[in-house]
Amino acid sequence: MCYNIFAITYSSAACASPFETGECEIDYLQKLKYHYRPRKGWVNDPNGLVYFKGYYHIFYQHSPDYELPGKQSVCWGHARTKDFLLWEELPIALYADTEYDGGGCWSGTAIEKDGVLYVCPEGDQALRR
């Protein structure tokens, strides 16, 4: 058995190197060892990585009810950790709830200033300009 840099296990014992292609198949259903993944749904880019009140927070593009994009407006999922090994999945941080958001909350960032956490999404309509 061999591993790639994302700690996904390859199912082929014949794989001599994790960087070889064609000989190893990735088991996408196996739990990742070092990277966060929510319990269900589609996950895309992380958009807000910030340290706030003793935790590292990650906000990410997410469709919580579907495994593929396009079936619901993209929202921002939210998780936090203290050690990057054990993650706590938190409630959805942002939903596309205005006309400006269009197809969802896609790019953006999160920042901490003076003890307050700010999330700054860029709606889907802004990306089309």
Confidence (pLDDT) at 24: 60
Domain boundaries, the chain: 1-35, 42-127
Residue type for position 93: A
Position with higher pLDDT, 31 vs 93 = 93
| Residue 1 vs residues 5, 11, 26, 41, 74: alpha-carbon distances, Å | 14, 7, 11, 28, 36
Active site residues: 45
Q: What is the DSSP string of 10-70?
A: BS-TT-S-TT--SS--B-TTSPPSSS---SSSEEEEEEEEEEETTEEEEEEEEETT-SSTT
pLDDT tens digit sequence for 63-92: 888 887 777 788 899 999 999 888 999 999
Position with higher pLDDT, 44 vs 26 = 44
Position with higher pLDDT, 129 vs 23 = 23
Q: What is the mean pLDDT of residues 15-30?
A: 56
